[in-house]
Structure 1
Amino acid sequence: MLPILKKGLQKIGVDKAIAYSSLARIIQAGGGVLTIFFIAANLTSEEQGYYYTFGSILAIQIFFELGLGGIITQYVAHEVAHLHLDPNNNLSGEIKYKSRLSSLLHLIIKWYLIMSMLFLISVIIFGFYYFSTYGVSDNINWKLPWVLLCISASINLFLSSFPAFIQGFGDVKYIALMRLISQVISILIVWTILLTGGKLYASAFSSLMISIISVIFILRKSYLKIFYSLWNTVISETINYKKEIFPYQWKIALSWISGYFIFQMFNPVLFAYSGAKIAGQMGMTLTAINGIMALTVNWTSTKIPFWSANISRKEYNQLDESYNNTLISSTLVCITCVIVFILCLLTLLHLYEPLYNRFLPLWLSSILSITIIFNNIINIWATYLRCHKKEPFLIQSITIGILSALSTFFMGKYVNVNAVIIGYTLITIFISLPLSYYIFKTKRLEYHSE
């Protein structure tokens, strides 16, 4: 039975890296369903609004990371493609590539250290202003949980550079395993804190546990040896940030920032203009839908180091074969998950309506979930092109970001949540999707002809 299952998984492109990543997302989705019960039982509707709005505000770390995380994996993969890692984790090959890799390590550690500190100060100040202005009740204990969550989130921001670096070596499986274990333990922490009356402290302690697990994995195995060796390598040739990374990064950064206005503005706007209860419903619905997106994205994110290496060696036939398999597999998985989610909501409507009422109405949830299918396809196209160390989606991202931000703000302030979701869906299907397809088709030909 197991060999048959293994063979079936291989046919849809599931390797160990995807298996670990997907299992983490499945646990996140399954654990998320159970967490919904814990939240419904232990948090009021208003506290639920705070719980999910916390996450949306912390997503502004995009403004501090500025897209460097994904760039690290690509640049490391391009350099490692010319080096050899022996069983004892010693790097050999042309010294210039090892030197360039060392300069990249120095750069990202300094970058993330500074940005994580700036992020910490900014989110604490903004959070106190925002929740003090739009908060629904003085009885909700949100201040200390918010501070603790901000601290742990800033630590995680700094630590995120190391897994990105490790993935560039092609060891996607190891990082996927780390995230799997982090997911399991963080969910258990959330449940424990909610059950013991910790309420909004749940997110803070869960985030802190993720930091601890990340440190253990980074120090474990022999990657510490690699980092130490690279850090002490005499740098004779560098990756020039201004000439090589910045021309690419600023485009990625604008795309990622645009992504914040596309995907993360819902909760803060609805919290401010429709109240914590509606924001909580949107947050719980988005949690389920984003879980689907996160699961399907595994098919793409685990391919970044390999696609980058294919491109570095100009192995375009292998690149396109992997891309086609990824597109088909992830799309089928995404559609299946959306159908399952809608069926689950239907089941809740008939069997346990109080929990169903913590989500957006069925028709709104269905419309919102369908956009994930299109966004997943767009993500695959964008990742494929970005592995060429280029960002052709800049104009598209800015355009969709501006349109989505304006739609969400004005529909949220002057109409209601229904208009917010319908506006976002129309923008995704009739503007974002066709524009993205045009960019993919034209730039793919251009890059390979070069």
Structure 2
Amino acid sequence: MKWLLLDRSLSFTLAARIWQGLAGPVTLVFLISSLTLPEQGFYYGILGILGFHAFFELGLAQVLVSQSSHAAAHLDSSEVDDSEIRESQLRMALLIKTSAYWFSFSAILFAVVAIAFGWQTFAMKQSDVQWQSPFLFAVLATAVSLGLTPFSAILEGAGYREMIYRLRFFQVLTGNVVVWLLLLSGGKLWATFAAWAVQAVWTGVIVWQGREFLNRFRGVAGQPTNYSWSNDVLPMQWRMAVLSVVYHLATQLFPVIVIRFHSEEEAAPLGMTGTVIMAIQLLAYAWAQTKYPLIANLHASGNREQAGSLWRHTALVSCLIQLLALVGFFVAVVFINAYFPSIKDRFVTPLQLVAYSAGCVAMHLISLQALYVLSRRTNPLFVPSIIGYVVTTALVWYGGYAYSINGVLTGFAIGTVLILLPLHTWAYLKFRQRTLAHESPHEASE
């Protein structure tokens, strides 16, 4: 267990992922038994539209984790003087105040855009499926969750990881139960609202639990500081924002693309397969995500060797988990195709899954590289990422327009494996060479 680098916060995250892995098949059974194929298509189409919140989060949540982690490192340290502690307090106050305004505006804008785009996309299908009310309420619940995001991100970076991951575990647990109950009672597409409503409630609980820390900086907000949003946050954030947008366009709208250009029936298997793939990605990413604040803090404290060793170990475990889970899912899809032909149309074909999985492996490697760079409190690998994601977006959207599911997944695999990953890895290795060259011989041994 020591080799897995488990601590209490990671244990809660893994418990949530394990629960998702166990609950996932149950949810799929309920969806298959409760929804028709067109309803399944709309179900995942709505979830895809709700994913627009990433456009309006603009990568700021991850930046806030990094920035608050660096600020928190000197808040109560006995190794720094009072002036440094005061400066850290002012930085934290500025992060809380400015991000609160930013996300409040973003939440409202998200609701307007998501409703407009979703209504236009779904209404053109002229379907008998009753999607209107569930869709509207789901958008509003997502907007509330988005508005609370900066506070939970700042708390995570400031060291409240165990509390946050514990409550996130209860969120996942209760979210699944509520969705199951709705599906069993005939709630159908209202399950999309339930999932996001539960997330909004638990995010509110996290903010309430951390209110003492957040309120601690009210008295220092607005006082002079060398730290500024425009100089210290915005240069990193705008790059993350652009990356967030092109990433979402390239990877997160597969069912929406197929619904828009073809039909909800064709989108259904892509959506259900994507749900399993996403659970696998989240499980693998858990190791990196929960260790990220620690690694950022180690870099902030100058412990480069320890940070590098922890990151390499974390990345290795994360990749092994992803590969094993993807192989297991492939075997399950082959088994369903061979022995359960009545439900095989709810998932993509095994060959399509190979293309999907190849792209996901590439995306996971890219995510690990990007997180390490961000933990060094520097800009992400911007230019190669933008080039790769833009090309992948073009391949995915044109592929979906011309060839439906086959086109989407082929474009995704080609764009990520042959273009995005090589470009990103080249830039990442160049970054590592530059940073090692500027470190002392002892630090370079990481």
TM-score, structure 2 as length reference? 0.93
Once the two structures are superposed, the pairs formed by residues 51-450 of structure 1 within 5 Å of their partners are 51-84=43-76, 94-133=85-124, 135-137=125-127, 139-220=128-209, 223-233=210-220, 235-237=223-225, 239-450=227-438
What 5-or-longer segments of structure 1 have no aligned partner?
A: 1-8
Contact between 1:262 and 1:400, CA under 8 Å: does it hold in 2?
Answer: no
Once the two structures are TM-superposed, the CA of residue 241 in structure 1 deviates from its matched residue by 1.3
What 5-or-longer segments of structure 2 have no aligned partner?
A: 439-446
Query: CA offsets, 1:150-190, max 9 Å, x none?
Result: 10000010111122111112222221111111011111111
| Structure 2 equivalent of residue 6 of structure 1 | none
Q: 1:310 to 1:322 in 2, by over 3 A?
A: same
Q: Which amino acid aligns with 1:361?
A: T
Once the two structures are TM-superposed, the CA of residue 238 in structure 1 deviates from its matched residue by 5.7
Contact between 1:392 and 1:439, CA under 8 Å: does it hold in 2?
Answer: no
| Structure 1 equivalent of residue 20 of structure 2 | 28
2 CA distance for matches of 1:344 and 1:232? 57
Once the two structures are superposed, the pairs formed by residues 11-22 of structure 1 within 5 Å of their partners are 11-22=3-14
Contact between 1:43 and 1:199, CA under 8 Å: does it hold in 2?
Answer: yes
Secondary structure, aligned partner of 1:84? coil
Once the two structures are TM-superposed, the CA of residue 49 in structure 1 deviates from its matched residue by 0.6
2 CA distance for matches of 1:239 and 1:58? 34
Contact between 1:265 and 1:405, CA under 8 Å: does it hold in 2?
Answer: no
| Structure 2 equivalent of residue 4 of structure 1 | none
Q: 1:239 to 1:275 in 2, by over 3 A?
A: same
Once the two structures are TM-superposed, the CA of residue 331 in structure 1 deviates from its matched residue by 1.0
Once the two structures are TM-superposed, the CA of residue 85 in structure 1 deviates from its matched residue by 8.0
Contact between 1:85 and 1:92, CA under 8 Å: does it hold in 2?
Answer: no
| Structure 1 equivalent of residue 441 of structure 2 | none
1 CA distance for matches of 2:164 and 2:212? 17
Q: Which amino acid aligns with 1:51?
A: Y
Contact between 1:105 and 1:231, CA under 8 Å: does it hold in 2?
Answer: no
Once the two structures are TM-superposed, the CA of residue 79 in structure 1 deviates from its matched residue by 0.8
Once the two structures are TM-superposed, the CA of residue 16 in structure 1 deviates from its matched residue by 2.2
Identify the range of structure 1 (49-58 vs 15-24) with the bigger mean alpha-carbon deviation: 15-24
Contact between 2:240 and 2:380, CA under 8 Å: does it hold in 1?
Answer: no
Query: CA offsets, 1:101-145, max 9 Å, x none?
Result: 111111111111111111112211222112112x251x2111110
Secondary structure, aligned partner of 2:234? helix
Q: Which amino acid aligns with 1:199?
A: K
2 CA distance for matches of 1:218 and 1:438? 40
Q: Which amino acid aligns with 2:91?
A: R
Once the two structures are TM-superposed, the CA of residue 10 in structure 1 deviates from its matched residue by 2.2
1 CA distance for matches of 2:241 and 2:356? 26
Contact between 1:83 and 1:92, CA under 8 Å: does it hold in 2?
Answer: no
2 CA distance for matches of 1:167 and 1:326? 18
| Structure 1 equivalent of residue 33 of structure 2 | 41
2 CA distance for matches of 1:102 and 1:44? 50
1 CA distance for matches of 2:214 and 2:4? 35
Percentage of identical aligned residues: 23
Identify the range of structure 1 (291-300 vs 408-417) with the bigger mean alpha-carbon deviation: 408-417
2 CA distance for matches of 1:118 and 1:53? 20
Secondary structure, aligned partner of 2:76? strand
Secondary structure, aligned partner of 2:239? helix
Once the two structures are TM-superposed, the CA of residue 92 in structure 1 deviates from its matched residue by 11
1 CA distance for matches of 2:43 and 2:384? 32
1 CA distance for matches of 2:300 and 2:92? 15
1 CA distance for matches of 2:411 and 2:367? 20
Secondary structure, aligned partner of 2:379? coil
Contact between 2:370 and 2:381, CA under 8 Å: does it hold in 1?
Answer: yes
Q: 1:127 to 1:423 in 2, by over 3 A?
A: closer
2 CA distance for matches of 1:67 and 1:243? 17
Once the two structures are TM-superposed, the CA of residue 402 in structure 1 deviates from its matched residue by 1.5
2 CA distance for matches of 1:319 and 1:58? 35
Q: Which amino acid aligns with 1:81?
A: A
1 CA distance for matches of 2:227 and 2:188? 46
Q: Which amino acid aligns with 2:220?
A: T
Secondary structure, aligned partner of 2:186? coil
Count of matched residue positions in the alignment of Structure 1 and Structure 2: 434
Secondary structure, aligned partner of 1:141? coil
2 CA distance for matches of 1:172 and 1:448? 30
2 CA distance for matches of 1:372 and 1:412? 18
1 CA distance for matches of 2:324 and 2:6? 16
Q: Which amino acid aligns with 2:413?
A: T
2 CA distance for matches of 1:449 and 1:309? 21
Q: Which amino acid aligns with 1:232?
A: G
Secondary structure, aligned partner of 1:302? helix
2 CA distance for matches of 1:63 and 1:328? 30
Q: Which amino acid aligns with 1:319?
A: A
